[in-house]
Copies of this chain bind each other. A is one copy, B any other.
Amino acid sequence: MDLDERKRKILQAIIRNYLETGEPVGSRTISKYTDLNLSSATIRNEMSDLEELGYIIQPHTSAGRIPSDKGYRLYVDQMMIEKEEQLSQATQEVKEMQKMLLDREDKMEAVLKQMARMLAANTNYATMISAPQVRGNKLKFIQLSRVDTRQLLTTIVVEGNVIKNEMISVEQMLDDEAILKLNILLNTNLNGLPIEEINLAMISNLKQQAGIHAGIISEVMDAVAAVIKDGEHVEIYTSGANNIFKYPELADNQRASELITTFEEKQMLTELVQDTLTDETGTGIQVYIGNETPVKTMKDCSVVTATYELEEGMKGTIGIIGPRRMDYDKVISTLKTLKSQLDTIYKKDGGQT
């Protein structure tokens, strides 16, 4: 099953060439391309073997060969091994990003959006990036404040510094003392509590203690519930969707429409994030070739993802989506450095909401 040295070299040459040109590559091309001086006829024989083994495909008789998914897979795996720990010198674009990331005072949302845009511009592929999923599930702080005669503001802070505000309208006016009491009630009972431990009994207990202000407790608890729900929702930013038009094999109406929809709806991209986060291979980089991707609309694409991690448990995903014949080398090394940048820069004390 193993390929001998020569076959591997030829396969590699085919793939390299195809990545550049996007055209099926013939034996004569390879015969000149490689340093092993062989005639086209010899190459033809080898190619015939490679096809039989499933590494390359002939679109039709009398055309050159193109790599199959299996071929790409071998190529990528091999590449990953060779490049191991080389961790490419920071390229120009990565330096730019680094500079950007250091500007931490910006909201994380803005940074991520900007990063997606930058990656897209630099790679000429479509990109996505998911915000770090907040695992923090302990209530850290909860407070009611009077903003207005008729309006109360609830502020809820969850571990990991997720902050949620909610306005509550009240009919009868509350005096400062009542608010203070409610605050004490809420904080003494809820502070430090894992969210899932808040149950019905506890809520009704709180309500009872709140007396005539039970209604307010209800609304506060609704807001807490909303925080949980928000936390489950994965925010995803995308950029460079238009890049798919640069690759004819993706640019026909049918495919383009599907892909654009996928990027726009983002819903389906969460599957990708999920898959990436679970299936950890050690390097934190994953390559999906063609049908391997969990998102079916991307079966004609390749996807390279990297997971990054801020504090304990806060993980996010960066993904690059391009044609099968994407420049895996460049993409992977870019992601690798970017990942390590993120990991180191954000490692200590996390971001803000």
Residues of A within 8 A of B (CB): 140-141, 143, 145, 147-148, 151, 153, 155, 157, 161, 163, 165-167, 169, 238-242, 245, 251, 253, 256-258, 260-261, 263-264, 349, 352-353
A141 to B245, CA, bound (A): 49
Residues of B within 8 A of A151 (CB): 161
Judged by DSSP, the binding face of A is: mixed
Cα distance A253–B249 when bound, in Å? Answer: 12
Min CB distance A237 to B, Å, is: 11
Check B264–A239 contact: CB distance below 8 A.
Answer: yes
- Alpha-carbon separation in the docked complex, A221 to B229 (Å): 32
Given the known inter-chain contacts A260-B241, A261-B242, please indicate yes or no for A140 contacting B148, CB distance below 8 A. yes
Contact of A141 among B153, B242, B257, B258 (CB under 8 A): B153
Complex CA–CA separation, A169 to B167 (angstroms): 26
Given known A-B contacts A245-B257, A264-B239, A147 and B157 have beta carbons under 8 A apart? yes
- Contacts A167-B352, A245-B257, A256-B256 supplied; 9 other A-B pairs, CB < 8 Å: A141-B153, A145-B155, A147-B157, A166-B352, A238-B264, A240-B264, A241-B260, A242-B261, A245-B256
> Are B140 and A147 within 8 A (Cβ)?
yes
Docked CA distance A264–B238 (Å): 8
Q: List 25 A-B contacts (CB under 8 A).
A: A140-B147, A141-B147, A141-B153, A147-B157, A153-B155, A153-B157, A153-B163, A155-B155, A155-B165, A163-B165, A163-B167, A165-B353, A169-B349, A239-B264, A241-B264, A242-B257, A242-B258, A242-B260, A242-B261, A245-B256, A245-B257, A251-B253, A256-B256, A260-B260, A263-B264
Question: Could you tell me the distance between the alpha carbons of A145 and B238 in the complex, rounded to whole angstroms?
Answer: 35
- A352 proximity list for chain B (CB < 8 A): 166-167
Instruction: Tell me the complex Cα distance, A215–B214, Å.
Output: 40
Q: How far is the CA of A240 from the CA of B93 in the complex (A)?
A: 32
Q: In the assembly, what is the distance between CA of A349 and CA of B148, in Å?
A: 13
* Least Cβ–Cβ distance between A157 and chain B, in angstroms: 5
In the assembled complex, the Cα of A141 lies from the Cα of B153 at a distance in Å of 10
Task: Determine how close the nearest CB of chain B comes to the CB of A221; give it in whole angstroms.
Answer: 14
Minimum Cβ distance to chain B for residue A89 (Å): 31
Q: Which residues of B contact A167 (CB under 8 A)?
A: 161, 163, 352-353
CB distance from A349 to the nearest CB of B (A): 8
A241 contacts across to B, CB distance below 8 A: 260, 264
Name the residue of chain B whose CB is nearest to the CB of A248.
Answer: B253
Would you list the 3 A-B pairs with minimal beta carbon distance, nearest first? A245-B257, A242-B261, A163-B165
Query: Across the interface, which residues of B come within 8 angstroms of A242, CB to CB?
Result: 257-258, 260-261, 264
Chain B: minimal CB distance from A85 (Å): 36
B-side contacts of A349, CB under 8 Å: 169
What residues of chain B lie closer than 8 Å to A239, measured between beta carbons? 264
A335 to B89, CA, bound (A): 54
Alpha-carbon gap, A155 to B245, bound state (A): 45
Chain B residue nearest in CB terms to A240: B264
